[in-house]
Structure 1
Amino acid sequence: MPDVPLLELKNLRIARSRGGSVEPLVRNLSLSLDRGQSLGLVGESGSGKSLTALAVMNLLPEPEVSIAEGEVRFQGQNLQTLDARSMNELRGSRLAIIVQDALAALNPVKRIQVQLEEVFRFHRREEAADARRELIHKALKKAGLPDTDHILRSYPHELSGGMRQRVLLAMALLLGPDLLIADEPTTALDVTLQARWVEQVKELQREQKLALLFISHDLALVAELCDEVAVLYRGHLVEQARTEILMDAPRHPYTKAMMQALPRAGRMPHAPERRAGESENQDGCPYAPFCPLVQDVCRRIMPELQGPPQHRVACHAVKD
């Protein structure tokens, strides 16, 4: 049997149904991720990053938002064909997710120890109590929380934001998943804690060959953590490349605008502005109203992703 990617999205289309109309939110997204690889999914708010993560975990708020076309495959298995019980068995054991708001993700009236032990009960794991305790302490230490006894006795509100986020990381790693999805996990952390979190995740990847789908609007942070970057704009994949290639030579005008928006000494970042009289065409490139390289074809036809595997771009104005 030929090797298959650990995670594969094939022509994924996510849509919202409301009032008899269907609004596409993510369009024809194809991505793959192998064991031990890290992929950064970047883009501004509303680009479809979190929806993609929820689609992988089969947690879209159906029926309003659902997968309209395409497939999500995990080790070759189409996750849409699994029943609820089978999908629940995968979540937390093989597939794990960390969300942005750690305080909302943790139960405020239960101690951390109780919440970590619930992972074993939910997945019907039969480890002895001593073995469970050892795994819990080990996961907390791997997540950068050495004072495990204090953490386990605490309620979520008694911990700092950085500690709560690392508790979520420990919870996600508890059963040794193959894939970790991190959806804006460092947004509420200061720069020092962000750097520490990134280093901890890098070390875990090396130790466990963990695949990572890291979702963020922060291109600089993604560059620190990921092997490859995929750029989303209004639900479209507009550029994908090896991280070092994209950071050195971005090709899509939107990616270039994101790079220019990064803070640098002596220069004020600026956001692109919509040109007067320009509006988005449903069939054209959604970035056309802002793009300095816009052509007439851009307003009518959405370009396909083209180029060599190490750097692909969807832009009529970019030529190889």
Structure 2
Amino acid sequence: MQQELLRVEGLRTVFQTSSGLVRAVDGVDLSVARGRTLGIVGESGCGKSMLSLSIMRLVPQPGRTVDGKVLLEGRNLLDIPTGDMRQVRGGQIAMIFQEPMTSLNPVHTVGRQIVEAMKVHSPKDSAAALKEQAIAALKRVRIPSPERRFDEYPHQLSGGMRQRVMIAMALACRPRLLIADEPTTALDVTVQAQILDLLRELQAETGMSIILITHDLGVVAEMADDVAVMYAGKVVERTSARALFEDPQHPYTLGLLGSVPRLDEDRDRLLAIEGAVPPPFAFPDGCRFNPRCPFAIARCRTEMPPLRLVEDGHEVACHRAPIEKALAMESAA
């Protein structure tokens, strides 16, 4: 058994809008073990990024977390004072945001921005010591000529370099958990592979845990030990990465995997999930995936399925899971 670092229980984050109450994160449960990578996957708009912001207590107004717990080594981060939470951010949990060009300040050098992040957690260190540590952080993420890059501005760096700077900033204070929100978005495949390799190397070096948020199942297959699939603000399937790819159980997961080309299959057309993710202020009754689900039955349209154990270590929020068994029973009948 892996020792648990972070546990999220019943987390709910909502936004009050003119269109109604937006349930961006709606009763999410998940956990991250020490030294392991949890992949969170799903379509755009399913709540992945808002989940990460809720964990960090960075939900923008008018959003607010209304229920649940975020337990870091048993300590509920939702209950601690704001000043203590500032020490947690960066010191114990760090985050890489989606787009480094908008996350980095364009009017300050990258070195100054790394130093500012380190000052919060090392206020007694001298300016020279902080600069030395920042250059070492740049060197750790394989940025060439780190002494020169320290004095450059974000626009002078490539997309891959800016992402490395974000990683250096996140890891400067040696956090125990790194949340990486779409860390390879807008990067070409070569740079993407380099960034993923870098995260793996740094994880092996520091022993940190990673929450990897992505819509790319290839990245999940390469990086994740465990996977949580999100749809319409909820976790609909949770298991190991191996089990997810070998034996997916939720119809939504089946659709995601069916839409990805595979070298070991000869298919003229890829599968597609009909329809779109429902707006968060107008979720359907029952299972939120039921309007798009080819296996939906009457019960799916009226009753929300709970996340339940269908196999050892494999949880699914579906009335019909395991799907193959349900279809076989119907065929026999």
TM-score, normalising length: structure 1: 0.92
Which residue number corresponds to residue 320 of structure 2?
Answer: 317
Gaps of 5+ in 2: 277-281, 326-333
Q: Which 4+ runs in 1 deviate beyond 4 A?
A: none
Give matches, 1:267-286, under 5 Å. Answer: 267-274=268-275, 282-286=284-288
Other-structure match for 1:32: 31
Q: 2 CA distance for matches of 1:156 and 1:33?
A: 32
Q: What whole-Å deviation, never above 9, does each CA across 1:216-263 have from its counterpart, x for those lacking one?
A: 011111111110010001112111110011111111111011011113
Equivalent residues of 2:111, 2:131 under 8 A apart: no
| Distance in structure 2 (CA, Å) of the matches to 1:267 and 1:245 | 26
- Give how far 1:137 is off: 2.4
1:282, 1:289 → 2: CA distance? 8
1:205 is displaced (CA, Å) by: 0.9
- Quote the residue 1:112 is aligned against: 110
Unpaired stretches in structure 1, ≥5 consecutive residues: none
User: Against the structure 1 CA distance between its residues 131 and 124, is the aligned structure 2 distance closer, same or farther, given a 3 Å change threshold?
Assistant: closer
- Where does 1:200-219 land on structure 2 (aligned, <5 Å)? 200-219=198-217
The structural deviation recorded for 1:130 is 4.4
Query: 2:12: which partner in 1?
Result: 13
1:90 aligns with 2:83: no
* Cα shift at 1:309: 5.0
Residues 118 and 52 of structure 1, relative CA distance in 2, 3 Å threshold = same
When residues 267 and 229 of structure 1 are mapped into structure 2, their CA distance, relative to the original with a 3 A threshold, is: farther
Structure 1 stretch displaced more, 122-131 or 4-13: 122-131
CA distance in 2, matches of 1:225, 1:253: 23
The alignment yields a C-alpha RMSD, in angstroms, of: 2.0
**Deviation by residue 1:127-174 (Cα, 9 ceiling, x = unmatched):** 244432332222212212132122112110000000000000000000
Alignment deviations for residues 278-310 of structure 1 (CA, whole Å, 9 cap, x no partner): xx8643111111111111100111111112452
Match of 1:304 in 2: 306
> Which amino acid letter does the alignment assign opposite residue 100 of structure 2?
A
Corresponding residue for residue 328 of structure 2 = none
In structure 1, C-alpha distance between the alignment counterparts of 2:112 and 2:38, rounded to whole Å: 32
1:314, CA displacement in angstroms?
1.1
In the aligned structure 2, how far is the partner of 1:251 from the partner of 1:260?
Answer: 13
**Which residue type is aligned with residue 293 of structure 1?**
F
Deviations for 1:17-37, whole angstroms, at most 9, x for unmatched residues? 124943322221111112211
Q: Could you say what secondary structure the match of 1:176 adopts?
A: coil
What is the CA deviation profile of residues 174-200 of structure 1, one whole-angstrom value per residue up to 9, with x for unaligned ones? Answer: 010111000011111111111111111
Q: What is the rounded CA distance, in whole Å, between the counterparts of 2:143 and 2:121 in structure 1?
A: 24
Preserved contact between residue 281 and residue 300 of structure 1 (Cα < 8 Å):
no
Q: What is aligned with 1:181?
A: 179
Q: 1:203 and 1:281, CA in 2 relative to 1: closer, same or farther beyond 3 A?
A: closer
Aligned pairs for 1:1-320 (under 5 A) are 5-19=4-18, 21-62=20-61, 64-264=62-262, 267-274=268-275, 282-307=284-309, 308-319=311-322
* CA distance 1:4–1:198, shift in 2 (3 Å): closer
Q: Is the 8 A contact 1:281 1:299 kept in 2?
A: no
Identity of aligned residues (%): 40
Name the stretch that deviates more: 120-129 or 171-180.
120-129
1:156 is matched by which residue type in structure 2?
A: P
In structure 1, what residue type is equivalent to 2:152?
S
Q: For 1:19 and 1:215, how far apart are their aligned partners in 2? A: 29
Maintained 8 Å contact 2:98/2:183: yes
In structure 2, distance between residues paired with 1:250 and 1:189: 28
Deviation at 1:121, TM superposition (A): 2.4
Measured in 1, the distance between the counterparts of 2:241 and 2:160 equals 26
TM-score by length of 2: 0.88
C-alpha contact 1:109 1:155 (8 A) present in aligned 2: yes
Indicate conservation of the 8 Å contact 2:3/2:34, yes or no.
no
Question: What secondary structure, in the 3-state scheme, does the structure 2 residue paired with 1:153 have?
Answer: coil
Q: Evaluate the alpha carbon distance shift between residue 69 and residue 203 of structure 1 in structure 2; reply closer, same or farther with a 3 A threshold.
A: same
CA distance in 1, matches of 2:200, 2:73: 23
